[in-house]
Every structure is written in C-alpha cells, then in structure tokens.
Amino acid sequence: MRRTQSTVRVADIPAIIADPERGIISLVGDHGGLSLITGDVSDSGLVFGTMAFETEHGTVYLDPEAETQISEEEPYDDQHEWFITWSIDGNGSTPEQAAARVWREVFGRTEANPDDACEFDVMDEETNKTVTVDLSKVDFDAID
C-alpha cells in the first residue's frame, strides 16, 4: 500500500472516509503517530462544538472548522507489478539442466519462449555461486 499524508478540514473527513475511491484513513498525531479511524465519526454530544472520531486509541475530539493531518493508505490496483521470488530445489549436472528439469517437473513445461517467465537464478549450494539461466535461450533436447 502507498501511504500519503495531507492536511484537510476536520469537517471534510467524514466525506473522505465515505468515498469508495479513497483508502484507509488515519489521524496523524502531533508527533507523527497514526491513529486509525475504526468506528463512528459524528458531532460530539460530550464535548460541545467538536466532532468525535472513534480511533484505535480511543475517541478523539476535534473542532470541525480546524485543519488536521490525515494519513491515507491506498491499496494498489490489480495491475501493480510485484517482483516475486521463490526457492525450488533442483538437480542437474549444470545450472541449465537443473532449471530445465524444474521447468518441466514443477511447471509442466517442455519449452520456453522469450515471453515466458522463464529466467531463473540457480545457486550452487556448495560454492554459493549463482548463475542466471534464461530457459528461452536453452536447447532442452541438448541438455538432457
């Protein structure tokens, strides 16, 4: 999630929270700490002339005409790109052969094209040496 901070009028916070296009809203304290708004936001019946915000740390009372800082956590959309790694043990006499076997046995693939996610970092556990193998450049028949 991305986190942004902005200064807003306290009276505008309920509309910001209700906006489905907005993220998760927290109040920013005097020393920069965050207090997630977890419940009701309403005119206070306890502290005259203020708005009451239920937060994870208790109720906070703010003057609706004042400005305050909020923090907004915005979720990424479904097109956000992530770098994903994992570790799979594989055997072979060369890094290429080990990667090709994993490609075949784990992923069920017998060939690789440049458009495939077929680049592997193969590490020798004895030497800790790592070799990058791009299976789209490997002749599968020749390494078996």
Q: What is the mean pLDDT of each run of 10 residues along the chain (144 residues)?
A: 93 95 93 95 94 96 97 87 87 94 93 90 94 92 80
DSSP 61-126: EE-TTSEEEEEEEEPPPTT-------------SSHHHHHHHHHHHTT--S---TTSS-EEEEE-TT
Examine the domain organization and report whether 6 and 69 are in the same domain.
Answer: yes
pLDDT of residue 142: 85
Examine the domain organization and report whether 51 and 8 are in the same domain.
Answer: yes
* Final residue of a structural domain among 45, 74, 103: 74
- 106 part of a folded domain: yes
Examine the domain organization and report whether 9 and 67 are in the same domain.
Answer: yes
- 48 part of a folded domain: yes
pTM of this structure? 0.55
- 86 part of a folded domain: no
Q: Which domain holds residue 137?
A: 95-143
